[in-house]
Structures are given as C-alpha cells and as structure tokens.
C-alpha cells in the first residue's frame, strides 16, 4: 500500500522522529476516512483537489485552528509529492494550494530579570532531584537546545574537559555547543550524585529520574513549569519558551544571527528570524537612548 511505503520512507530515509511519523500517518488516515465516507473512494491517490478542499471545509467546521488544518494538509501535500516522485500519480492535486491564514504565535520569552532570579536567587534542594532540575533549567537556557535533545543527550556526548556538548538534532544532524563555566560545575555536581542512583550507571542518557530511568517529556515540562511559576506570571512556561529566551537574549546582547542559527540547529535563517522581533524592540530602546537626535 502506498501509505505504508510513504510512512516507511519518512522513517527510514527522511529519519523523522516516531512522533512526527505518527502525526503524518494519523493525518493521512483521517483523509482516508473522509474520502471513504463522503465519496466512497478507497484509494486517496485518486483524490481531486475539490475533494481535498471539501475536507478542509469539514475540518474548519469542527472548530480546529487554521494552524492545525494547515499541518494536516501539509501531510497530505507531502504524500502527493511522494506519489509524484515514485511515479504513482502524474499530477499533484495540491500543487497550487495556498495555506489558510494563521495568526502569528506570540511567544513571550522570560526576561533577564526572571532568569537572574531563577538561577541566582531561587533556592533549589540540595538533593539529586534539586541539582538535576537546576541543571535542566540552566542547560536549556545556556544552550537553547530542544526538550527532545535534552532528554536524549548521551553521557558520552558531554565533554567536560573541552567545555562542550554534542547534540543530536532534527534529521540526525549533530552540532557542538559550548558550555558556560557555571554549567560545567553543575554537571560535575550532578554526575557525582547520579552515580549513587539505582540503575544510574547503566543508563546511557545524561538525565534520569530518581529511580534511575530515562527522564521523559512530561517530567521536563513539569520541572520548567513548576519552578518558573515561582518567578514568572507569564501564561506559557515551557521548555520551548526557554529555547526562545536563549535566542532572544543572545540577539539582544549583539550575537550574530548566523551564530544563533547554528547554536539552535536551524536548517535555515528563516527559522531563526522569528526570534528577532524581541531583539528589534530592544534595539529601538538602545537607539532611542543613544541617538544624538534624541538628546
């Protein structure tokens, strides 16, 4: 079946994560169900653009966001591109499709004052979990790495002597990120405590639970949300906001956009430029204070 071949292609050739592959598969399954119900069409390879458009209308009527609709249609578009590539179809029905308009997602980073309070004022317990949680927060803020990258960080990829870590990002792309002196000290303290945790030395990943198991997504979220609730009134407090904060603060302090792009592991500058709106606001303040015409 063409869908099975496509899923295999995403997994084996494109090296997409299991989570991403699952999302693609669900989107295609949803469209299959729609075609079967609305048109008694079993093979979606034979679907026309009017059919897809009616699917989009039905999705919008269920009140899901335009962003979610666009993601589903993007999955379908990728599938049709795959069918074109393999010669299964001659025309891509979505070739000229335009995505639905979406409101810009405004993600507000933590301020430098909030980060200062978090890392230098807020007390952390002097225990394995306390040190681990502080290291999780510091590492996300100091490197801008993704939550999944932190969860899968291997012991062998932390180089204390060279003050750097090797991160495996999207599409299995590796990058080296330098570490701050404060982060190095935390790593040393954490590794000392980690050795006495059950199963700790058997685990290949850096971050583990108090039972010695690999740390997981919801725990990382709970760590970030829990601690930042003590210092910030912002609605969204997540690992991704820390990545956003890293990029914004780096740019505010004059870091080169290309350097930030490399540190974040972005494939293109366009992905990094979404973080520049905050630094532009900061530049306006500096410009206003420093320009002779404003004196």
List active site positions: 146, 170, 240, 243, 266, 275
Cα–Cα–Cα angle for 106, 111, 115, rounded to 5 degrees: 130
What digits encode the pLDDT tens for the residues 76-135? Answer: 999 999 999 999 999 999 988 998 888 766 678 899 999 999 999 999 999 999 999 999
Token pair of 61 as six digits? 């009527």
CATH number at residue 38: 1.10.150
Q: What domain range is 238 assigned to? A: 112-288
The DSSP secondary structure of 152-178, one letter per residue, reads T-BGGGEETTTTEEEEE-GGG-EEEEE
On the question of pLDDT at 1 being above 60, the answer is yes
Give the sign of the dihedral formed by CA 132, CA 133, CA 137, CA 138. negative
- Please check whether residue 126 lies inside any domain of the structure: yes
CATH number at residue 119: 1.10.443.10
**Positions of E strands within the chain:** 158-159, 164-168, 174-178
| pTM, two decimal places | 0.65
One domain, residues 127 and 272: yes
- Please check whether residue 10 lies inside any domain of the structure: yes
One domain, residues 60 and 192: no
One domain, residues 71 and 184: no
What digits encode the pLDDT tens for the residues 150-164? Answer: 999 999 999 999 999
For residues 110 and 253, give the distance between their C-alpha atoms in angstroms, rounded to a whole number: 15
pLDDT value of position 291: 46
């Amino acid at each position: 079946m063409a869908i099975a071949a496509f899923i295999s292609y995403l997994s084996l050739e494109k090296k997409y994560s299991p989570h991403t592959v699952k999302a693609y598969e669900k989107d295609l399954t949803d469209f299959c169900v729609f075609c079967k119900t609305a048109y008694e069409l079993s093979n979606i390879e034979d679907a026309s653009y009017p059919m897809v458009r009616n699917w989009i209308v039905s999705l919008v009527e269920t009140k899901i966001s335009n962003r979610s609709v666009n993601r589903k249609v993007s999955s379908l578009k990728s599938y049709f591109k795959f069918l074109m590539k393999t010669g299964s179809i001659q025309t891509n029905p979505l070739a000229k499709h335009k995505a639905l308009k979406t409101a810009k997602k405004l993600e507000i980073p933590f301020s430098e004052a909030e980060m200062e309070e978090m890392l230098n004022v807020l007390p952390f317990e002097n225990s394995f979990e306390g040190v681990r949680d502080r290291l999780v927060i510091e590492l996300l803020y100091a490197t801008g790495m993704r939550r999944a990258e932190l969860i899968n960080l291997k012991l062998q990829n932390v180089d204390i002597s060279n003050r750097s870590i090797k991160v495996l990002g999207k599409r299995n792309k590796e990058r080296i990120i330098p570490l701050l002196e404060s982060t190095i000290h935390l790593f040393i303290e954490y590794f000392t405590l980690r050795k006495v945790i059950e199963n700790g030395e058997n685990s290949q990943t850096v971050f583990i639970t108090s039972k010695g198991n690999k740390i997981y997504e919801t725990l990382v979220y709970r760590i970030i949300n829990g601690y930042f609730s003590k210092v910030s009134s912002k609605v969204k407090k997540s690992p991704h906001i820390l990545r956003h904060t890293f990029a914004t603060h780096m740019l505010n302090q004059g870091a080169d956009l290309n350097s930030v792009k490399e540190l974040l592991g972005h494939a293109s500058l366009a992905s990094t430029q979404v973080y520049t709106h905050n630094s532009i606001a900061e530049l306006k303040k500096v410009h206003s204070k420093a320009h002779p015409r404003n004196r």
